[in-house]
Protein backbone atom coordinates (compact mmCIF):
# COMPACT_ATOMS: atom_id res chain seq x y z
CA UNK A 1 0.00 0.00 0.00
CA UNK A 2 1.42 3.41 -0.98
CA UNK A 3 1.94 6.16 1.58
CA UNK A 4 -1.05 8.11 0.26
CA UNK A 5 -3.23 5.01 0.22
CA UNK A 6 -2.16 4.19 3.78
CA UNK A 7 -3.04 7.69 4.98
CA UNK A 8 -6.45 7.50 3.27
CA UNK A 9 -7.13 4.09 4.80
CA UNK A 10 -6.27 5.41 8.25
CA UNK A 11 -8.55 8.42 7.76
CA UNK A 12 -11.40 6.19 6.62
CA UNK A 13 -10.86 3.67 9.44
CA UNK A 14 -11.32 6.26 12.18
CA UNK A 15 -13.59 8.67 10.27
CA UNK A 16 -16.73 8.04 12.36
CA UNK A 17 -14.79 8.31 15.60
CA UNK A 18 -13.15 11.56 14.52
CA UNK A 19 -16.59 13.00 13.75
CA UNK A 20 -17.38 12.79 17.44
CA UNK A 21 -16.40 16.21 18.88
CA UNK A 22 -14.99 14.70 22.06
CA UNK A 23 -12.22 13.10 20.00
CA UNK A 24 -11.88 14.78 16.61
CA UNK A 25 -8.78 14.56 14.39
CA UNK A 26 -6.50 15.94 17.11
CA UNK A 27 -7.70 13.39 19.64
CA UNK A 28 -7.26 10.57 17.15
CA UNK A 29 -3.65 11.60 16.60
CA UNK A 30 -3.11 11.48 20.37
CA UNK A 31 -4.62 8.01 20.60
CA UNK A 32 -2.23 6.67 18.00
CA UNK A 33 0.70 7.94 20.08
CA UNK A 34 -0.55 6.42 23.36
CA UNK A 35 0.47 3.26 25.19
CA UNK A 36 -2.02 1.39 27.38
CA UNK A 37 -1.19 -1.60 29.59
CA UNK A 38 -3.99 -4.11 30.05
CA UNK A 39 -3.55 -6.45 33.01
CA UNK A 40 -5.62 -9.56 32.32
CA UNK A 41 -7.08 -10.74 29.05
CA UNK A 42 -10.05 -12.82 30.11
CA UNK A 43 -13.61 -11.65 29.60
CA UNK A 44 -13.27 -7.95 30.47
CA UNK A 45 -9.71 -7.77 29.13
CA UNK A 46 -10.53 -9.29 25.76
CA UNK A 47 -13.42 -6.88 25.26
CA UNK A 48 -11.33 -3.90 26.38
CA UNK A 49 -8.38 -4.90 24.16
CA UNK A 50 -10.66 -5.15 21.13
CA UNK A 51 -12.24 -1.76 21.81
CA UNK A 52 -8.87 -0.05 22.39
CA UNK A 53 -7.36 -1.51 19.24
CA UNK A 54 -10.38 -0.63 17.10
CA UNK A 55 -10.31 2.89 18.52
CA UNK A 56 -6.71 3.25 17.33
CA UNK A 57 -4.72 3.28 20.56
CA UNK A 58 -1.26 2.89 19.08
CA UNK A 59 0.46 0.56 21.55
CA UNK A 60 -1.03 -2.09 23.81
CA UNK A 61 0.75 -4.22 26.38
CA UNK A 62 -1.35 -7.26 27.30
CA UNK A 63 -0.42 -9.37 30.32
CA UNK A 64 -2.20 -12.61 31.17
CA UNK A 65 -1.15 -15.87 32.83
CA UNK A 66 -3.94 -18.09 31.48
CA UNK A 67 -4.85 -20.11 28.38
CA UNK A 68 -7.95 -20.14 26.18
CA UNK A 69 -10.54 -22.81 27.08
CA UNK A 70 -13.90 -23.72 25.58
CA UNK A 71 -15.74 -22.20 28.55
CA UNK A 72 -14.20 -18.81 27.70
CA UNK A 73 -15.93 -18.52 24.33
CA UNK A 74 -19.30 -17.49 25.80
CA UNK A 75 -17.92 -14.09 26.78
CA UNK A 76 -14.29 -13.59 25.65
CA UNK A 77 -14.76 -11.84 22.34
CA UNK A 78 -11.25 -12.05 20.90
CA UNK A 79 -11.00 -15.84 20.90
CA UNK A 80 -12.42 -18.65 18.76
CA UNK A 81 -12.74 -22.44 18.82
CA UNK A 82 -9.32 -22.94 17.23
CA UNK A 83 -7.69 -20.93 20.04
CA UNK A 84 -9.43 -23.09 22.64
CA UNK A 85 -8.51 -26.34 20.91
CA UNK A 86 -4.88 -25.27 20.71
CA UNK A 87 -4.87 -23.99 24.30
CA UNK A 88 -3.21 -20.76 23.18
CA UNK A 89 -2.12 -18.32 25.88
CA UNK A 90 -4.74 -15.58 26.02
CA UNK A 91 -2.23 -12.73 25.65
CA UNK A 92 -0.76 -14.23 22.48
CA UNK A 93 -4.14 -15.19 21.04
CA UNK A 94 -5.27 -11.59 21.58
CA UNK A 95 -2.18 -10.23 19.85
CA UNK A 96 -2.83 -12.41 16.80
CA UNK A 97 -6.50 -11.47 16.59
CA UNK A 98 -5.82 -7.75 16.88
CA UNK A 99 -3.27 -7.98 14.07
CA UNK A 100 -6.02 -9.28 11.80
CA UNK A 101 -8.28 -6.23 12.18
CA UNK A 102 -5.80 -3.45 12.98
CA UNK A 103 -2.21 -4.13 11.98
CA UNK A 104 -1.37 -0.51 12.77
CA UNK A 105 -1.58 -1.20 16.51
CA UNK A 106 1.58 -2.51 18.15
CA UNK A 107 0.73 -5.24 20.67
CA UNK A 108 3.22 -6.57 23.21
CA UNK A 109 1.91 -9.82 24.70
CA UNK A 110 3.30 -11.27 27.92
CA UNK A 111 2.28 -14.72 29.13
CA UNK A 112 3.02 -13.90 32.74
CA UNK A 113 1.68 -13.29 36.20
CA UNK A 114 2.06 -9.63 37.18
CA UNK A 115 4.14 -9.61 40.38
CA UNK A 116 6.29 -7.06 42.24
CA UNK A 117 9.43 -8.38 40.53
CA UNK A 118 8.22 -7.67 36.98
CA UNK A 119 5.67 -4.86 37.26
CA UNK A 120 8.11 -2.05 36.48
CA UNK A 121 9.45 -3.86 33.44
CA UNK A 122 6.06 -4.89 32.03
CA UNK A 123 3.95 -1.77 32.51
CA UNK A 124 6.44 0.94 33.45
CA UNK A 125 6.24 2.66 30.05
CA UNK A 126 2.44 2.77 29.74
CA UNK A 127 0.56 6.07 29.90
CA UNK A 128 -2.46 4.35 31.45
CA UNK A 129 -3.14 1.00 33.14
CA UNK A 130 -6.42 -0.87 32.76
CA UNK A 131 -7.44 -3.55 35.22
CA UNK A 132 -9.02 -6.70 33.81
CA UNK A 133 -7.77 -9.11 36.45
CA UNK A 134 -9.64 -11.74 38.43
CA UNK A 135 -8.27 -11.00 41.90
CA UNK A 136 -7.75 -8.20 44.41
CA UNK A 137 -4.17 -9.24 45.12
CA UNK A 138 -3.11 -8.00 41.67
CA UNK A 139 -5.37 -4.95 41.86
CA UNK A 140 -3.73 -3.80 45.09
CA UNK A 141 -0.34 -4.31 43.43
CA UNK A 142 -1.41 -2.15 40.48
CA UNK A 143 -2.76 0.45 42.89
CA UNK A 144 0.53 0.64 44.82
CA UNK A 145 2.53 0.94 41.61
CA UNK A 146 0.21 3.56 40.10
CA UNK A 147 0.23 5.80 43.16
CA UNK A 148 3.99 5.47 43.62
CA UNK A 149 4.62 6.30 39.96
CA UNK A 150 1.80 8.87 39.70
CA UNK A 151 0.28 6.77 36.91
CA UNK A 152 -3.50 6.70 36.29
CA UNK A 153 -5.34 3.39 36.24
CA UNK A 154 -8.92 2.16 35.93
CA UNK A 155 -10.41 -0.59 38.07
CA UNK A 156 -13.03 -2.80 36.43
CA UNK A 157 -14.71 -6.07 37.34
CA UNK A 158 -17.67 -8.19 36.30
CA UNK A 159 -19.26 -11.27 37.85
CA UNK A 160 -22.79 -12.64 37.55
CA UNK A 161 -24.84 -9.75 36.16
CA UNK A 162 -22.79 -7.18 38.05
CA UNK A 163 -20.29 -4.69 36.59
CA UNK A 164 -18.20 -2.15 38.50
CA UNK A 165 -15.59 0.44 37.50
CA UNK A 166 -13.60 3.23 39.12
CA UNK A 167 -11.06 5.74 37.83
CA UNK A 168 -7.93 6.31 39.91
CA UNK A 169 -6.00 9.51 39.20
CA UNK A 170 -3.24 9.60 41.84
CA UNK A 171 -3.19 12.83 43.82
CA UNK A 172 -6.63 13.83 42.56
CA UNK A 173 -9.08 11.03 43.27
CA UNK A 174 -9.36 8.28 45.84
CA UNK A 175 -7.27 5.19 45.20
CA UNK A 176 -8.49 1.61 45.58
CA UNK A 177 -7.17 1.43 49.15
CA UNK A 178 -9.03 4.64 50.06
CA UNK A 179 -12.34 2.85 49.50
CA UNK A 180 -11.22 -0.70 50.33
CA UNK A 181 -8.36 -0.56 52.87
CA UNK A 182 -8.24 -4.34 53.09
CA UNK A 183 -8.75 -7.15 50.61
CA UNK A 184 -12.12 -8.95 50.84
CA UNK A 185 -12.13 -11.84 53.28
CA UNK A 186 -14.12 -15.04 53.34
CA UNK A 187 -15.97 -16.37 50.32
CA UNK A 188 -15.42 -14.31 47.17
CA UNK A 189 -17.56 -14.75 44.06
CA UNK A 190 -15.78 -15.75 40.86
CA UNK A 191 -17.00 -16.30 37.32
CA UNK A 192 -16.22 -20.01 37.57
CA UNK A 193 -18.40 -20.53 40.63
CA UNK A 194 -21.08 -17.83 40.32
CA UNK A 195 -21.35 -17.56 36.55
CA UNK A 196 -21.33 -14.43 34.42
CA UNK A 197 -23.38 -12.73 31.73
CA UNK A 198 -21.42 -11.62 28.69
CA UNK A 199 -23.46 -8.41 28.75
CA UNK A 200 -22.03 -7.53 32.19
CA UNK A 201 -18.53 -8.07 30.82
CA UNK A 202 -19.15 -5.81 27.85
CA UNK A 203 -20.71 -3.11 30.02
CA UNK A 204 -17.68 -3.05 32.33
CA UNK A 205 -15.27 -2.99 29.39
CA UNK A 206 -17.21 -0.31 27.51
CA UNK A 207 -17.30 2.02 30.50
CA UNK A 208 -13.64 1.37 31.30
CA UNK A 209 -12.48 2.04 27.74
CA UNK A 210 -14.64 5.16 27.38
CA UNK A 211 -13.04 6.58 30.52
CA UNK A 212 -9.64 5.60 29.12
CA UNK A 213 -10.31 7.47 25.87
CA UNK A 214 -11.19 10.61 27.82
CA UNK A 215 -7.80 10.48 29.51
CA UNK A 216 -5.82 9.60 26.40
CA UNK A 217 -7.20 12.46 24.31
CA UNK A 218 -6.26 14.90 27.06
CA UNK A 219 -9.59 15.44 28.81
CA UNK A 220 -9.16 13.91 32.28
CA UNK A 221 -11.50 16.51 33.75
CA UNK A 222 -14.40 14.69 32.08
CA UNK A 223 -13.61 11.39 33.81
CA UNK A 224 -16.07 10.09 36.43
CA UNK A 225 -15.07 10.54 40.08
CA UNK A 226 -17.14 7.71 41.55
CA UNK A 227 -17.12 3.97 42.08
CA UNK A 228 -19.93 2.93 39.74
CA UNK A 229 -21.72 -0.41 40.07
CA UNK A 230 -24.57 -1.75 37.95
CA UNK A 231 -26.54 -4.99 38.17
CA UNK A 232 -27.97 -5.64 34.72
CA UNK A 233 -30.40 -8.30 35.93
CA UNK A 234 -32.03 -6.26 38.69
CA UNK A 235 -31.34 -2.86 37.09
CA UNK A 236 -29.92 -1.66 40.42
CA UNK A 237 -27.29 1.04 40.07
CA UNK A 238 -25.14 2.73 42.70
CA UNK A 239 -22.33 5.29 42.89
CA UNK A 240 -19.96 6.01 45.75
CA UNK A 241 -17.90 9.19 45.70
CA UNK A 242 -14.20 8.73 44.97
CA UNK A 243 -13.53 12.40 44.31
CA UNK A 244 -10.74 12.90 46.85
CA UNK A 245 -8.05 10.76 48.50
CA UNK A 246 -9.05 9.56 51.98
CA UNK A 247 -7.18 11.19 54.84
CA UNK A 248 -5.09 8.49 56.50
CA UNK A 249 -5.04 6.20 53.47
CA UNK A 250 -2.10 3.80 53.77
CA UNK A 251 -1.21 4.28 50.08
CA UNK A 252 -2.12 7.90 49.27
CA UNK A 253 -1.32 9.48 52.62
CA UNK A 254 1.34 7.25 54.16
CA UNK A 255 2.82 6.06 50.86
CA UNK A 256 3.27 2.63 52.38
CA UNK A 257 3.36 0.30 49.38
CA UNK A 258 3.15 -3.12 51.05
CA UNK A 259 1.85 -4.87 47.94
CA UNK A 260 4.62 -3.45 45.78
CA UNK A 261 7.09 -4.80 48.33
CA UNK A 262 5.41 -8.18 48.10
CA UNK A 263 4.12 -8.17 51.68
CA UNK A 264 0.48 -8.34 50.63
CA UNK A 265 0.88 -11.48 48.52
CA UNK A 266 0.10 -15.03 49.47
CA UNK A 267 3.25 -17.00 50.14
CA UNK A 268 3.60 -19.85 47.63
CA UNK A 269 5.84 -22.90 47.91
CA UNK A 270 6.36 -26.12 46.02
CA UNK A 271 4.90 -28.86 48.17
CA UNK A 272 6.31 -32.24 47.25
CA UNK A 273 5.96 -33.78 43.84
CA UNK A 274 3.52 -32.06 41.49
CA UNK A 275 1.93 -29.88 44.19
CA UNK A 276 1.92 -26.19 45.10
CA UNK A 277 0.90 -24.73 48.45
CA UNK A 278 -0.67 -21.27 48.70
CA UNK A 279 -0.39 -19.81 52.21
CA UNK A 280 -3.38 -17.44 52.31
CA UNK A 281 -3.41 -17.03 56.09
CA UNK A 282 -5.66 -14.56 57.91
CA UNK A 283 -8.39 -14.96 55.28
CA UNK A 284 -10.97 -17.25 56.92
CA UNK A 285 -13.12 -19.25 54.52
CA UNK A 286 -16.55 -20.72 55.26
CA UNK A 287 -15.86 -24.25 54.09
CA UNK A 288 -19.51 -25.34 54.12
CA UNK A 289 -20.49 -22.40 51.93
CA UNK A 290 -17.53 -23.04 49.64
CA UNK A 291 -18.52 -26.71 49.31
CA UNK A 292 -21.99 -25.66 48.11
CA UNK A 293 -20.46 -23.28 45.57
CA UNK A 294 -17.97 -25.77 44.19
CA UNK A 295 -20.13 -28.90 44.06
CA UNK A 296 -21.62 -28.11 40.61
CA UNK A 297 -18.11 -27.80 39.17
CA UNK A 298 -16.43 -31.02 40.30
CA UNK A 299 -16.21 -33.63 43.01
CA UNK A 300 -16.26 -32.10 46.51
CA UNK A 301 -15.47 -33.80 49.82
CA UNK A 302 -15.92 -31.81 53.01
CA UNK A 303 -15.48 -32.92 56.61
CA UNK A 304 -15.69 -29.69 58.58
CA UNK A 305 -11.91 -29.33 58.84
CA UNK A 306 -10.94 -29.16 55.20
CA UNK A 307 -12.46 -29.27 51.75
CA UNK A 308 -11.16 -31.30 48.82
CA UNK A 309 -12.24 -30.26 45.33
CA UNK A 310 -11.37 -32.40 42.32
CA UNK A 311 -11.64 -31.03 38.80
CA UNK A 312 -10.01 -32.86 35.93
CA UNK A 313 -6.37 -33.52 36.65
CA UNK A 314 -6.25 -31.08 39.57
CA UNK A 315 -7.19 -31.41 43.24
CA UNK A 316 -7.51 -28.40 45.54
CA UNK A 317 -7.39 -29.04 49.27
CA UNK A 318 -8.65 -25.96 51.10
CA UNK A 319 -8.30 -25.20 54.82
CA UNK A 320 -10.37 -22.86 56.96
CA UNK A 321 -7.69 -20.16 57.12
CA UNK A 322 -7.55 -19.85 53.33
CA UNK A 323 -4.47 -22.01 52.86
CA UNK A 324 -4.68 -24.46 49.96
CA UNK A 325 -2.65 -27.24 48.38
CA UNK A 326 -3.09 -27.59 44.62
CA UNK A 327 -2.16 -31.04 43.37
CA UNK A 328 -1.59 -31.87 39.73
CA UNK A 329 0.89 -29.13 38.88
CA UNK A 330 4.26 -27.79 39.97
CA UNK A 331 3.69 -24.58 37.99
CA UNK A 332 3.08 -21.71 40.41
CA UNK A 333 1.26 -19.69 37.76
CA UNK A 334 -1.19 -22.52 37.08
CA UNK A 335 -1.75 -22.99 40.83
CA UNK A 336 -2.44 -19.28 41.36
CA UNK A 337 -4.87 -19.27 38.44
CA UNK A 338 -6.79 -22.27 39.80
CA UNK A 339 -6.98 -20.67 43.27
CA UNK A 340 -8.27 -17.40 41.79
CA UNK A 341 -10.84 -19.15 39.60
CA UNK A 342 -12.38 -21.41 42.19
CA UNK A 343 -11.56 -19.98 45.62
CA UNK A 344 -11.20 -16.32 44.73
CA UNK A 345 -8.40 -13.96 45.74
What's the burial of 340, exposed, middle or buried (CB within 10 Å: 0-12/13-18/19+)? buried
pLDDT at residue 186, as a whole number: 59
Calpha distance 148→255 (Å, rounded): 7
Please state, in angstroms and as integers, the Cα–Cα distance from residue 324 to each residue in 80, 106, 125, 206, 269, following that order. Answer: 33, 39, 35, 35, 11
Decide: 46 and 79 in contact? Cβ < 8 Å: yes
Please state, in angstroms and as integers, the Cα–Cα distance from residue 169 to each residue in 31, 121, 220, following that order. Answer: 19, 21, 9
Q: Nearest CA to 175 among 156, 195, 153?
A: 153
Query: At CA 252, angle to CA 249 and CA 256, rounded to 5?
Result: 80
Give the number of residues written for the chain.
345
Q: Nearest CA to 327 among 308, 302, 301?
A: 308
Q: Where are the domains of the chain?
A: 33-241, 267-342
pLDDT at residue 99, as a whole number: 97
Calpha distance 240→161 (Å, rounded): 19
Calpha distance 123→134 (Å, rounded): 18
Calpha distance 282→323 (Å, rounded): 9
Structure pTM?
A: 0.81
Calpha distance 50→53 (Å, rounded): 5
- Asked whether the CA dihedral 199, 200, 205, 206 is positive or negative, the reply is positive
Decide: 29 and 78 in contact? Cβ < 8 Å: no
Instruction: List Cβ neighbours of 95 (8 Å cut-off, separation of 6 or more).
Output: 62, 107, 108, 109
Instruction: Express each pLDDT in 273-316 by its tens digit.
Output: 688 888 765 567 888 989 998 999 899 988 877 788 999 999 99
pLDDT in tens, the chain (345 residues): 556 666 777 779 999 999 999 999 999 999 999 999 999 999 999 999 999 999 999 999 999 988 888 888 998 899 999 998 988 889 999 999 999 999 999 999 998 888 899 999 999 999 999 999 988 889 999 999 999 999 999 999 999 999 999 999 999 999 999 999 987 765 667 776 778 899 999 999 999 999 999 999 999 999 999 999 999 999 999 999 999 999 999 999 999 999 999 886 767 766 666 888 887 655 678 889 899 989 998 999 888 777 889 999 999 988 887 888 889 998 888 888 888 888 886
Query: Which SS3 state, helix, strand or coil, does residue 46 take?
Result: helix
Residues annotated as catalytic are 191
DSSP state for residue 234 in the 8-state scheme: T
For 267-342, which CATH class?
alpha beta
In 10 A of CB 341, how many CB atoms?
20
The domain defined by 33-241 folds into: Rossmann fold (3.40.50)
Amino acid sequence: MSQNSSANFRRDRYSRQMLYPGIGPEGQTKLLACHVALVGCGATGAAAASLLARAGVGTLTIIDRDFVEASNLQRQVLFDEADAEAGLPKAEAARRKIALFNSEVSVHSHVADLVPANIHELIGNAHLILDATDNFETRYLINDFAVQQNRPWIYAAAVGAYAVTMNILPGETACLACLFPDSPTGTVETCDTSGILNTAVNLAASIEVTEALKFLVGKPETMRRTLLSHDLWTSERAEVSAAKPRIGCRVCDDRDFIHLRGEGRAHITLCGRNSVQIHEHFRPVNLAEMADRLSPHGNVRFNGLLLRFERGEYTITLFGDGRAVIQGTSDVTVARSLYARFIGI
